[in-house]
Amino acid sequence: MILEHKFEPVFDNNSKVLILGSFPSVKSREQGFYYGHPQNRFWRLIAQICCCDVPCTIDEKKDLCISNGIALWDTVASCEIEGSSDSSIKNVKPNDLSVITGSCGIKAIFTNGGTAYRLFVKYQQNVINRTAVKLPSTSPANAAWSFERLYNEWKIIEKYL
């Protein structure tokens, strides 16, 4: 069964960094927003990078991104996926990233994990003529990476904000 990405990208004219995931997890789809699994470390990482409190509500998460020049979306608009397993993604229809890259001054694109990076390279890199930096996944499935180790990789974003 093909699943559709149901929530909009987060960005405005002042966005400087674009962070791309692959496709929303089951928990994110239930909540209707990015990185909804309580053990996903994305929001804690972004809050630390931006020297802010960890956001709790969807509005707080959007505000954190917008007020710090961060655009957020996923590489996949629709696909077949088993649960939340990125490795099961097939029959991909990519999102049109030019919606963001064509309307604001994105200085750098980062992917949250290897699948997002692989899908970006396959479907979008040549279309938008931009490259991306692959960052380690913030997913709880990436348990081998401690929060501190993730932060040390993800803090590269700071220099573009």
- Pair of tokens at residue 142: 């990436």
Give the pLDDT score at 88: 83
Q: Which of 14, 40, 95, 126 is catalytic?
A: 40
For this structure, is 40 an active site residue?
Answer: yes
pLDDT tier at 33 (50, 70, 90 boundaries)?
A: very high
Q: State what percent of residues in the chain have pLDDT above 90.
A: 84
User: What is this structure's pTM?
Assistant: 0.95
- Structural domains in the chain plus CATH codes: 2-160 (3.40.470.10)
Instruction: Name the residue with tokens 């996903």.
Output: 40
134: left (phi over 0), alpha (psi -120 to 50) or beta: beta
pLDDT tens digits, one per residue of 49-104: 999 999 999 999 999 999 999 999 999 999 988 877 777 889 999 999 999 999 89
Give the pLDDT score at 97: 96
109 contacts 18 by C-beta, under 8 angstroms: yes
